[in-house]
Amino acid sequence: MTRESVAHKATRYLAEARLTVLSVAGDSVTAVCRGTDGVYSLGHQPARGWYCSCPARTGDCCHVLALRLVTDSRAVTEEAATRLAAAVERGKQSLARAAAERQAGITRIGGMP
């Protein structure tokens, strides 16, 4: 099994609506992100830079990258924008399938149809 890249995980978190931007004031941003193991506080402050309360040991975790993708135009490359659009589309399709299954009375148990 291959490990999910930081960029892929960040776009997946956005598609799954795990990031909530709480405030934007000038160059300062605060947000929360529901990660795999908890909800993390993150953001940007001019004097501090980008930060996240998650236990990642690197400077740019997937939570910060997700926030940068929606708040920092310099973070959005053509490749990242394409991945983000694809992840959002997959998320929309998944939500539509779930809604159709609910309407049809189909119940999934343990991820199995």
What pLDDT, in 10s, does the model give residues 24-61? 998 899 999 999 899 999 999 999 999 999 998 776 89
Amino acid at site 98: A
Domain of residue 46 covers 6-102
- As for how many domains the chain has, the answer is 1
Q: Is 113 exposed, middle or buried (0-12, 13-18, 19+ CB in 10 A)?
A: exposed
108 is a domain residue: no
For residue 113, is it within any domain?
A: no
Stated pTM of the model: 0.66
Residue 110 in any domain: the answer is no
Question: What per-residue confidence (pLDDT) applies to 5?
Answer: 86
Residue at 109 is within a domain? no
Residue 94 DSSP code: H
pLDDT at position 81: 67
Least trusted range by pLDDT, from 9-18, 67-76, 77-86: 77-86
Q: Which residues, in sequence order, are bridge partners of residue 49?
A: 45
72 within some domain:
yes
pLDDT surpasses 60 at 113 = no
Average model confidence (pLDDT) across the chain: 84
